């Protein structure tokens, strides 16, 4: 029987979503959409100690920004769905709200002999650990130690049954089988085998808060939600034997999902995992959106740094996957068509900040002048520029679009098209504003002021250059004098472009100003 593809992204709201997490969500989404399947969001919030307020909202907002829209788990307003409906049959999708579901599954495992009750207090476990460590051994709660600890395997039945009633701090632990070779298949890594002899007896459920741990909740929910593939980060690979054994213990191997573990994103130098600190140190974001933690510390985000979501999605897709062709630019739809787990690389993907910028520049180039104008107007307002016509802003945008990586660059590239320079770059002034140059430049300025044709770049540019050439004046020096007057520096757009945009009156004002200031 072929089942409908159903995958899930299952973040724990323990902080902002790292860009590696967004990539995991993206690969799940692409995989599901390509197969006409469902992409589900499930919030794994059973660890109340690590719960961070605002993290869930952040995660959903980040995915929305990327256009990674779930079929189940989150409604149109971006709220995690709490009540089951036709569209969200498995609600609630927050594990803390599914609390009553898990206990019976944990107890079922005890009844079948795959798990047991454990009564050791934190102090008792601490003492045991210290004792073994002082003898040079490491402590794990498992096959070599469990019979010397306080649990339903080591204690007389009457005794542990009483503790079960009277105490509220016991746990249910998985009884890791001894010396078994667990044979696993990973869609990216291939066949993997692990011997259980080194694995511990993980806690599955805790009486204290009546909550499951990650392992139990994850397997039970993947089963109940009919998940067909689990695509997640490689940090979960060590848990895979336990997960296989849990499916087996429950008798769910027939419908057990297939697994794919994604490699980490690596630092730009390839040495180790890409961390928040690398971002701070090397000046690039590692989070999709800006995040302010409880201490008020700010982490920059791709969105706030001016990246387009399409560029961010594209660059993320290419970190660890390649299409097998030279093509680098993909829309989300094209990614849905082209993506395949077979072409996801086993080794870690090295992050390259320059390449990230390259993607944004490419997307900026492809945007319409209209859209960029919409984005630039608020930036201008932030710089105090109001009352400029939209038509004027569009002309500026068209002129500088090719030179920018981010919309914010527009201001740095050509703020002088909105405000006259008040100072002049000293080095440039010293080099070009010399009497032998500026007397000529002022004559050129007169030529421009007296230009009689329609005042457009196309009309002005040729005659202007011809005028300078026919007089055999030094073109570069003369132009740079004018540029100094118009830009405040000797670099910038072409003179004909600038003067036709700012107009003759403003041009004349800037010439008068530089004469009064530098002469």
The catalytic residues are 276
Q: Does 46 bind ligand GLU (CB under 6 A)?
A: no
Q: Does 221 bind ligand GLU (CB under 6 A)?
A: no
CA nearest 307: which of 390, 225, 375?
Answer: 375
For residues 11 and 492, which CB has a smaller minimum distance to ligand GLU in the complex?
11
Q: Does 115 bind ligand GLU (CB under 6 A)?
A: no
Q: Dump the DSSP string for 354-377.
A: HHHHHHHHHHHHHS-HHHHHHHHH
Out of 26, 38, 44, 348, the residue judged to bind ligand GLU by CB under 6 A? 44
Cis peptide before 428 (omega within 30 of 0): no
For residues 44 and 310, which CB has a smaller minimum distance to ligand GLU in the complex?
44
Q: Does 220 bind ligand GLU (CB under 6 A)?
A: no
Q: Does 201 bind ligand GLU (CB under 6 A)?
A: no
CA nearest 345: which of 426, 260, 425?
Answer: 260
Out of 7, 12, 74, 496, the residue judged to bind ligand GLU by CB under 6 A? 12
Name, in order, each residue with C-beta under 8 angstroms of 262's C-beta and a sequence gap of 6 or more: 23, 24, 27, 188, 231, 232, 233, 234, 320, 344
Helix ranges (H only) for 176-262 are 214-224, 240-250
For residues 12 and 196, which CB has a smaller minimum distance to ligand GLU in the complex?
12
Give, in degrees to the nearest 5, the angle at Cα 103 between 101 and 104.
85
Task: Pick out residues in 320-359 that bind ligand GLU (CB under 6 A).
Answer: none
Q: Does 218 bind ligand GLU (CB under 6 A)?
A: yes
CA nearest 358: which of 398, 401, 307, 409?
Answer: 307
Span interacting with ligand GLU, options 10-18, 101-109, 337-345, 451-459, rule CB under 6 A? 10-18
Instruction: DSSP letter for 257, please.
Output: P
Phi/psi of residue 146, each to 5°?
A: -60, -30
Q: Dump the DSSP string for 289-341.
A: S-EE-TT--EE-BTTTTT--HHHHHHHHHTSSB--SSS-----HHHHHHH--G
Span interacting with ligand GLU, options 48-56, 230-238, 306-314, 460-468, rule CB under 6 A? 230-238
Helix ranges (H only) for 339-434 are 353-366, 369-382, 390-400, 409-414, 426-432
Least separation, in Å, of the C-beta of 236 and ligand GLU?
5
Q: Does 41 bind ligand GLU (CB under 6 A)?
A: no
Please name every residue paired with 232 in a beta bridge, in sequence order, or none if there are none. 261
Q: Does 23 bind ligand GLU (CB under 6 A)?
A: no
Span interacting with ligand GLU, options 58-66, 99-107, 229-237, 294-302, rule CB under 6 A? 229-237
Q: Does 232 bind ligand GLU (CB under 6 A)?
A: yes
Q: Does 11 bind ligand GLU (CB under 6 A)?
A: yes
Out of 51, 139, 236, 447, the residue judged to bind ligand GLU by CB under 6 A? 236
Least separation, in Å, of the C-beta of 431 and ligand GLU?
58
| Residue ranges binding ligand GLU (CB under 6 A) | 10-12, 44, 218, 230, 232, 236
């Amino acid at each position: 029987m072929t089942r409908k593809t159903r995958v899930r992204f299952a973040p724990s709201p323990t902080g902002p979503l790292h860009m590696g997490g967004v990539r995991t969500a993206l690969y799940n989404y692409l995989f599901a959409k390509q197969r006409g399947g469902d992409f589900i969001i499930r919030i794994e919030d059973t660890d109340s100690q690590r719960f961070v307020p605002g993290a869930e909202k952040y995660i959903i907002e980040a995915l929305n920004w990327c256009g990674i829209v779930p079929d189940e788990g989150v409604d149109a307003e971006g709220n995690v769905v709490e009540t089951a409906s036709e569209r969200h049959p498995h609600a609630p999708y927050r594990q803390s709200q599914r609390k009553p579901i898990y206990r019976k599954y944990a107890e079922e495992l005890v009844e079948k002999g795959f798990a047991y009750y454990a009564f050791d207090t934190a102090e008792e476990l601490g003492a045991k650990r210290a004792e073994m460590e002082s003898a040079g051994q490491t402590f794990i709660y498992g096959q070599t130690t469990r019979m010397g600890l306080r649990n339903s395997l080591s204690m007389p039945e009457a005794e542990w049954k009483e503790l079960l009633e009277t105490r509220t701090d016991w746990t249910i632990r998985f009884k890791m089988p001894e010396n078994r070779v667990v044979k696993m298949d990973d869609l990216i890594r291939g066949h993997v085998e692990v011997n259980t002899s080194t694995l511990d007896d993980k806690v599955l459920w805790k009486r204290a808060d009546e909550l499951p741990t990650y392992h139990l909740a994850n397997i039970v929910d993947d089963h109940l939600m009919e998940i067909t593939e689990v695509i997640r980060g490689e940090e979960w690979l060590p848990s895979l034997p336990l997960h296989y054994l849990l499916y087996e213990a429950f008798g769910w191997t027939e419908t057990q999902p297939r697994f794919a573990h994604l490699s980490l994103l690596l630092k730009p130098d390839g040495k180790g995992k890409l961390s928040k600190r690398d971002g701070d140190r090397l000046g690039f974001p590692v989070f999709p959106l800006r995040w302010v933690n409880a201490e008020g510390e700010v982490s920059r985000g791709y969105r706030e740094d001016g990246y387009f979501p399409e560029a961010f999605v594209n660059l993320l897709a290419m970190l660890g996957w390649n299409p097998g062709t030279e093509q680098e630019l993909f829309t989300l739809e094209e990614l849905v068509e082209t993506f395949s787990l077979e072409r996801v690389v086993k080794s870690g993907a090295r992050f390259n900040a320059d390449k990230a910028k390259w993607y944004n520049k490419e997307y900026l180039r492809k945007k319409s002048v209209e859209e960029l104008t919409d984005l630039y107007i608020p930036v201008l307002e932030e710089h105090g520029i109001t009352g400029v016509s939209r038509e004027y802003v569009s002309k500026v945008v068209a002129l500088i679009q090719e030179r920018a990586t981010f919309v914010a660059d527009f201001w740095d590239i050509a703020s002088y098209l909105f405000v006259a320079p008040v100072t002049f770059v000293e080095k440039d002034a010293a080099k070009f504003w010399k009497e032998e140059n500026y007397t000529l430049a002022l004559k050129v300025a007169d030529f421009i002021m007296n230009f009689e044709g329609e005042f457009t770049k196309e009309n002005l540019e040729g005659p202007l250059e011809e005028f300078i050439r026919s007089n055999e004046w030094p073109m570069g020096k003369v132009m740079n004098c004018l540029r100094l007057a118009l830009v405040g520096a000797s670099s910038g757009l072409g003179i004909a472009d600038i003067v036709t945009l700012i107009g003759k009156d403003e041009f004349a004002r800037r010439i008068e100003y530089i004469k009064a200031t530098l002469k």
